[in-house]
Structure 1
């Protein structure tokens, strides 16, 4: 007698979203968290402290570990920070993401978004994490470490090269179904991904 087919896997419940500055990580994370009814962790708020100082790494790791432990039914984490995460949240690691979502939008679109966002934050003096603000005087700095617009421009090909290499080395699957890395190359692909997660549950 043939065995019953295995049930179709549901949408991923633990997602990490990465991409260059201005790609739309935070917006996507909020949309996904709302759709799945799971909490959202912004890694910038974890690794930055007041005065644009780095938070103690041990403290940051403890915050992430506690967040994951407190939400076993699912979560969304967004932000790059791979060098400081030390493997945390990656697919295939203990308590890691089911899927790593890579926002790979065209460079021109990322730059339009990051310039628009940077001007708005500077003019409105938007308070970010722990009272930090982006400073208009940094707009003219050439150093990408001090100028978020330059950072987005310089990092776009770097992030893309790194992620493409990672995709080539990581043809693993998540729960035996979906690819562990999902590449979203356009706003339409982003919308389709969110829609594919199903309707928001009340």
Structure 2
């Protein structure tokens, strides 16, 4: 594990702990973190606006060109490939499927009760999409990630549970 990494990419499914880990690492290492969802979407009070592919790619390129960053997200499509290439450490969160389901439900309830902030309006439609995205990640994204980015195995750290994350904070 590269404990002195200054460019870190965290990938995992919905509810895997990406944002939580990114925030903690950012605070501990004094490195800014970025959510890929916010690279894809412009967050506006009137509603989210999807960036064009050119805007999205330019925004991500600017982040990647900086000296240090933590980028987190579920995306592993071609537009994110430079991020994996430039990362010194790639953390793949492979949290248990049932734990992710629990976290999706817990997050939705907290957001609906306004106990937790969200970048989007927590609707029932989004709630059910999260289960769909979680299944898709498990069946497709995970397999594609390792076949596509396995060439970076020397900088990939797979974390399956909370105790695996704790070693980053010792």
* Larger RCO (CA within 8 A; separation ≥ 6): 2
Q: Does 1:61 align with 2:36?
A: no
TM-score (norm 1): 0.71
Aligned pair count? 166
Q: State the partner residue of 1:108.
A: 98
Q: Which of these residues, 124, 138, 141, is aligned with residue 156 of structure 1?
A: 138
Q: State the partner residue of 1:144.
A: none
Are the equivalent residues in 1 in contact too, given 2:76–2:141 (CA < 8 A)?
no
The CA deviation at 1:103 is 0.3
- Give the ranges of 4+ consecutive aligned residues of structure 1 lying more than 3 Å apart after TM superposition: 49-53, 125-129, 163-167
Distance 2:141 2:155 in 1: 17
Are the equivalent residues in 2 in contact too, given 1:114–1:152 (CA < 8 A)?
no
SS in 1 for 2:101: helix
Distance 1:185 1:152 in 2: 15
Q: Does 1:165 align with 2:147?
A: yes
Distance 1:26 1:87 in 2: 20
The CA deviation at 1:47 is 0.2
Are the equivalent residues in 1 in contact too, given 2:95–2:161 (CA < 8 A)?
yes
Q: 1:10 to 1:125 in 2, by over 3 A?
A: closer
Distance 2:125 2:37 in 1: 21
Are the equivalent residues in 2 in contact too, given 1:19–1:159 (CA < 8 A)?
no
Q: State the partner residue of 1:5.
A: none
Deviates more, 1:100-109 or 1:118-127: 118-127
Taking only aligned residues, the RMSD between alpha carbons, in angstroms, comes to 2.5
SS in 2 for 1:17: strand
Gaps of 5+ in 1: 1-8, 142-146, 173-178, 196-202
SS in 2 for 1:88: helix
The CA deviation at 1:85 is 2.2
- Tell me which protein shows more helix as a share of its residues: 2
Gaps of 5+ in 2: none
Q: State the partner residue of 1:80.
A: 74
SS in 1 for 2:11: strand
SS in 2 for 1:78: strand
Alpha-carbon deviations, 1:129-154, whole Å to 9, x = none?
3xx31213554x5xxxxx21332234
The CA deviation at 1:33 is 1.1
